[in-house]
Structure 1
């Protein structure tokens, strides 16, 4: 049986061998071989992607196109699949933008967009998708071309499996545009309609819907005027909670590391992780309170509890939106309490083993809860609410038997605050002490 390192080397070797043979085949056989190559790509990890998808590979592909040893259609078949895997596995590939292939794609996109007649719409969409999936620095000209093109492709209403895949790819590519600047008229009407249509008909895949929201969320960070649309018109809290609930049902939480997971389950797991990251982004800077937050916190806590034994990576992701929410003064501590977030973090602090990352996240959460519960309000009604919430928190602590942990925590409060917020490394001794008090 191959070790992990052996499997990585084997994947890299197989890919390089198959790729080196491609230029010797005719177009049909080359397409079949690319199918085999894509199966290898499915099993790659971050290190393998980085070792293979370098500027040399992209330059080699460009040369093969120039010498007519690979068609643009077969190039797209390879790159779209690889780009999708790269983004789902959150791998950053900076080398594409420096390659001759990127220059070729840019010229082809601009040329295709300028055509008045005989425009190849499929090729146009494919080129835009490949370009956005691998690039990370977009000019205003490319933004003005690619965004309308892909939003149009993502707006198709047919419910066939083939159309679902096309829409999914278009939205995934759009979601990777990050924080780049664009005007509302370039995206708002279309992306809002896509999200509303999904809420009514539920015809998008989970990944496609998450990608639509992620694209919109990046725009929100550049334009605060979008928040009312996000929170109150499109109901982000409600929709994120629904998606997390549905995705959680698709995952075998009791599987231990090394147990086989089918492709569909692996994809849904990665989509769930993307949703958690999107929620963390939103709570980082939202300014409008919404009652739907409580349901969303409930779902995040449920996922944390399902994942805590065998999916520790997901557990860590669950702490990010909770930590950001408690740091955000718009989100009420009472909402986090009702959603079970306070209790879940305290449960985590009681685990027999506690890693540095989780210790840090939990302490930041508890630090902010403690500070907020001790902030007196000038408004009498708000002050009464604060006291009531504080009383509920301490009742919850007593029910769970967490008094000793919290007493210890408060004794170390000043030291821990300096450690966390001055970005010093947490000592393993602190972690051991907290879980054994």
Structure 2
């Protein structure tokens, strides 16, 4: 393989030429798919890099230059690989960052941050000892308020690394004030890149998985739904959707990848949030804007939009009226009339309306809420009737059994009457 040849050349060329080889390898990494990535960047390769460091055939500076870019691509594309974790290089980096942190006046903050980023981008489960070292170190770089290009890149890398920390409880004292300051400062000054800002939110909302006491900060203080909606709207305008379709590119743009990362956080938020908030309609509206822009151009993102609507319909903290106001009902109805609609999307759309129907059948104890329920039910019914929903369901009725068998979705009813909101 070309990549293996380049590593052999790297081992045998002088340090002055190594940066050129590394930049060439970094360019090849950007063109890889996940299978190719895992084939090249395996444990044997990381062990080889470790040996090259030990034999002084490659400098630590050049090793970091390579690994930071490889790790950046891996995390941005959401590829999972445990090859680094079991390598000699992983142990070398862990020891180096622990030793560097123990230094006082001689501590090299930039080297420590580089080591933390390299380690976390490849190994997202940190020990409590490494949490105490890596999180404050990377927060310090993310907190820099200088708007130079170099500072923005440093903040983006630091926050991307932090966003990849998974599955471990972190004491709020270690991060909460810093991450709130980062988010609030950006909301006022727009100093971060779009990926950096999304990564800051991802780090915070991932903590919400384990520590649900954070809902006040996320919802009331930092306004997650408002910010996610605004970012989705802005990102949808940055993508040349028609060009993407015409060129039939296999690789998604950075903006499209950031949109998908926002969707991951929205899914998490919908599942975990127990508060009813008025800004949900705005959040749904942001996803609707993306759906309308991606429709017919990026089927993957269009499908994820429908999954957000279906998840929101199941979530008790989202009122059906908010789904109606946000435009989710409109776009799902529009989508179901497309000839290119596939079976998986059909299943999700039908589930969306089945869930809404079930929720609108639930009578309220309070007279005012009951009147609101009836009013919402009538609005949904009129919308469905206006768009010819009954005809759509009739046309799908013959393939319900196929859909059920293929997707093994026991929630997908075969009774046609279940798909109508009867007033």
TMscore range, shorter length: over 0.9
Kept in 2, the 8 Å contact 1:281–1:321? The answer is: no
Output the TM-score relative to the length of structure 1: 0.89
Residue 218 of structure 1: which of 181, 206, 210 is its match? 206
Cα 1:164/1:122, change in 2 over 3 Å: same
Three-state SS of the structure 1 residue aligned to 2:209 is helix
The CA distance in 2 between the partners of 1:159 and 1:137, in whole Å, is 31
Aligned pairs, number: 416
Residue 338 of structure 1: which of 313, 325, 349 is its match? 325
Three-state SS of the structure 2 residue aligned to 1:101 is helix
The CA distance in 2 between the partners of 1:214 and 1:416, in whole Å, is 38
Three-state SS of the structure 1 residue aligned to 2:85 is helix
Residue 150 of structure 2: which of 152, 162, 182 is its match? 162
The CA distance in 1 between the partners of 2:344 and 2:264, in whole Å, is 16
Q: What does residue range 349-428 of structure 1 map to in structure 2 within 5 Å?
A: 349-406=336-393, 423=409
The CA distance in 1 between the partners of 2:214 and 2:244, in whole Å, is 42
Cα 1:419/1:330, change in 2 over 3 Å: farther
Kept in 2, the 8 Å contact 1:326–1:369? The answer is: yes
Q: Runs of 5+ in structure 2 lacking a partner?
A: none
* Aligned residue in 2 for 1:303: 290
Residue 64 of structure 2: which of 67, 76, 92 is its match? 76
Cα 1:183/1:236, change in 2 over 3 Å: same
* Aligned residue in 2 for 1:321: 308
Residue 177 of structure 1: which of 165, 187, 190 is its match? 165
Deviation of 1:262 (Å)? 12
Three-state SS of the structure 2 residue aligned to 1:222 is coil
1:87 lines up with 2:85 in the alignment: no
The CA distance in 1 between the partners of 2:26 and 2:138, in whole Å, is 23
Three-state SS of the structure 2 residue aligned to 1:203 is coil
Three-state SS of the structure 2 residue aligned to 1:23 is helix
Cα 1:76/1:425, change in 2 over 3 Å: farther
* Aligned residue in 2 for 1:279: 266
Alpha-carbon displacement from aligned partner over 1:389-432 (angstroms, at most 9, x marks no partner): 1000011112212222346779999x799879964699xx99xx
The CA distance in 1 between the partners of 2:40 and 2:250, in whole Å, is 24
Residue 229 of structure 1: which of 200, 213, 217 is its match? 217
Kept in 1, the 8 Å contact 2:347–2:403? The answer is: no
Output the TM-score relative to the length of structure 2: 0.92
The CA distance in 2 between the partners of 1:416 and 1:228, in whole Å, is 44
* Aligned residue in 2 for 1:196: 184
Kept in 2, the 8 Å contact 1:277–1:320? The answer is: no
Kept in 2, the 8 Å contact 1:277–1:317? The answer is: no
Three-state SS of the structure 1 residue aligned to 2:124 is coil
Three-state SS of the structure 1 residue aligned to 2:80 is coil
The CA distance in 2 between the partners of 1:258 and 1:338, in whole Å, is 33
* Aligned residue in 2 for 1:54: 42
Three-state SS of the structure 2 residue aligned to 1:157 is coil
Deviation of 1:14 (Å)? 2.2
Alpha-carbon displacement from aligned partner over 1:149-174 (angstroms, at most 9, x marks no partner): 11111101110001100000000000
Cα 1:94/1:258, change in 2 over 3 Å: farther
The CA distance in 1 between the partners of 2:2 and 2:286, in whole Å, is 41
The CA distance in 1 between the partners of 2:399 and 2:81, in whole Å, is 42
Deviation of 1:136 (Å)? 2.8
1:246 lines up with 2:246 in the alignment: no
Q: Runs of 5+ in structure 1 lacking a partner?
A: 1-12
Kept in 2, the 8 Å contact 1:220–1:227? The answer is: yes
For the aligned residue pairs, the C-alpha RMSD in angstroms reads 2.7
Cα 1:421/1:329, change in 2 over 3 Å: farther
The CA distance in 2 between the partners of 1:199 and 1:256, in whole Å, is 30
The CA distance in 2 between the partners of 1:151 and 1:15, in whole Å, is 34
Which shows bigger deviation, 172-181 or 346-355?
Answer: 346-355
Three-state SS of the structure 2 residue aligned to 1:95 is coil
Cα 1:359/1:401, change in 2 over 3 Å: closer
1:293 lines up with 2:280 in the alignment: yes
Deviation of 1:319 (Å)? 2.0
The CA distance in 2 between the partners of 1:358 and 1:308, in whole Å, is 13
